[in-house]
């Protein structure tokens, strides 16, 4: 079909290595969709673009999927350079970004989202389809303005149908989230998704990544050795059931790793379902709910992962990036005001100090009665000194915060600049 049934707006939602997603509107109905333009590989020798059989595989899999927690394919078009997938518009942003905006997170809230992820994966696995690229960027929310947003699994570019008796090996995915069998180039199956769910749950509850090393090689070595632990600093408030759930997913032997149905039936997931009101269940539920997990580290993790932007199929939400820049400019204005107030306070403190020094010399020459007055002034001055030290401490903290924001701002400016160049090159 031709694209004139749709009007495509140039507000880019997401951008990958060989795919750009734009918002579009169906002219006949006015309904908005996301149009994913996948660049076709023009020749066998070329390394730019996606091979036709890979695009067809993604389309075939998407056409078979119809589930509340999985993105829906509406239509497919093709032109000379691209295949265009018209997909359901998922406008609620990434799950991790949504959770990072909360002050704190209870395990009950966490399991409400993890259960939705498990439901989507159960549907895929029931059809013998492995996603192979489950990671925070691919776990989106349909709409974030409701009490419990609905999870949508997106990006089926690496998804494969697992056929009985047919051995399938490949090396792909994002290092942080891939299973040991992918790292070791061993036969792959549905179990690889379960490992990724373990990594995602670990990060969601702690804001720390279980296998992430200083280099790609170190990360892959950590995965192969299943080198992870529940650091008390990150998991001090986490229940044993949650750790047990993660431990049973991060298992090297695929036969012993939790399968999707077992994960859905796991006590940690089951505890938070509305069960019969027997006192033991209520007590257990209250005990788990009382633990509020801080989201500060998750916030730091999302900022870091968005700013690192590896090129392999990673999506970047441009609207989110723009709002971050606005926030930074507001913070900068606030910090300028603080800096001005700091200078005037410094002058006041220095003036007080010089007055005290002069008075001290003069009082020493005075009689006993004046010495008593001097001790009173000293007492007052000590209070001023404590106040000054407190102010200096606050100002040092403000300086550190300003430096940190400055460096983040520069990083984002660099990324924005590189994105602009890529976009300009792409448009040309």
Conformation bin of residue 30: beta by default, left when phi > 0, alpha when psi is -120 to 50: left
CA 24 to chain centre: 26
CA dist 204 and 242 (Å) reads 11
143 is catalytic: no
CA dist 70 and 67 (Å) reads 5
- CB count, 10 Å around CB of 305? 21
Question: Could you say which of 97, 133, 155, 193 is catalytic?
Answer: 133
Known catalytic residues are 133
């Amino acid at each position: 079909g031709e694209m004139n049934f749709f009007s495509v707006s140039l507000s880019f939602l997401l951008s990958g290595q060989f795919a750009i997603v734009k918002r579009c509107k169906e002219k006949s109905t006015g309904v908005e969709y996301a149009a994913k333009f996948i660049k076709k590989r023009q020749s066998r020798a070329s390394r730019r673009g996606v091979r036709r059989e890979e695009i067809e595989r993604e389309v075939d899999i998407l056409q078979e999927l119809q589930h509340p927690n999985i993105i829906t394919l509406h239509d497919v078009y093709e032109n000379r350079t691209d295949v265009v997938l018209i997909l359901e518009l998922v406008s609620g942003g990434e799950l991790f970004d949504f959770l990072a905006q909360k002050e704190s997170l209870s395990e009950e809230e966490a399991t409400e989202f993890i259960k939705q992820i498990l439901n989507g994966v159960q549907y895929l696995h029931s059809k013998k389809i492995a996603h192979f690229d489950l990671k925070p960027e691919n776990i989106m929310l349909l709409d974030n303005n409701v009490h419990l947003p609905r999870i949508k699994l997106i990006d089926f570019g690496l998804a494969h149908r697992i056929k009985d008796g047919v051995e399938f090996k490949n090396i792909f995915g994002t290092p942080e989230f891939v299973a040991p069998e992918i790292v070791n180039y061993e036969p792959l199956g549905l179990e690889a998704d379960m490992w990724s769910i373990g990594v995602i749950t670990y990060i969601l509850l702690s804001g720390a990544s279980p296998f992430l090393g200083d280099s790609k090689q170190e990360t892959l070595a950590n995965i192969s050795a299943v080198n992870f632990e529940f650091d008390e600093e990150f998991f001090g408030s986490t229940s044993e059931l949650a750790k047990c759930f993660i431990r049973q997913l991060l298992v090297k032997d695929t036969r012993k790793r939790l399968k999707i149905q077992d994960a859905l039936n796991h006590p940690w997931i089951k505890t938070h379902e509305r069960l019969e009101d027997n006192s033991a269940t209520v007590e257990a539920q209250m005990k788990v709910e009382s633990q509020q997990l801080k989201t500060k580290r998750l916030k730091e993790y999302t900022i870091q992962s968005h700013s690192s932007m590896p090129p392999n199929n990673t999506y970047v939400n441009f609207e989110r990036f723009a709002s971050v820049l606005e926030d930074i400019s507001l913070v900068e204005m606030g910090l300028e005001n603080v800096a001005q107030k700091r200078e005037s306070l410094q002058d006041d403190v220095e003036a007080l100090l010089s007055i005290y020094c002069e008075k001290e010399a003069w009082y020493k020459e005075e009689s006993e009665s004046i010495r008593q007055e001097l001790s009173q002034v000293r007492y007052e001055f000590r209070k001023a000194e404590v106040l000054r030290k407190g102010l200096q401490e606050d100002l040092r903290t403000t300086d550190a915060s300003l430096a940190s924001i400055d460096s983040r701002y520069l990083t984002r400016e660099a990324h924005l600049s590189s994105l602009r160049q890529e976009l300009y090159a792409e448009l040309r």
